[in-house]
């Protein structure tokens, strides 16, 4: 089964870093292939 791909727009809370958001998405998606630009 192929991994889903696409764009996820996140309006993060002021206390969160981009690294925090990427880590959370990695855990929720159960994958390491997540990044930010």
DSSP SS3 for 27: helix
**pLDDT reported for residue 35:** 79
pLDDT of residue 33: 85
pLDDT in tens, 1-37: 676 788 889 999 999 999 999 999 999 988 888 876 6
CA angle, 20 then 16 then 10, to 5°: 80
Q: What is the CA radius of gyration of the chain?
A: 11
User: How many angstroms separate the CA atoms of 31 and 23, rounded?
Assistant: 10
Q: Which two tokens stand for residue 17?
A: 């870093």
pTM of the full structure: 0.71
């Amino acid at each position: 089964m192929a991994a889903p791909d696409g764009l996820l727009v996140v309006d993060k809370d002021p206390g969160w870093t981009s690294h925090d958001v990427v880590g959370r998405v990695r855990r929720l998606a159960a994958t390491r292939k997540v990044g930010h630009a």
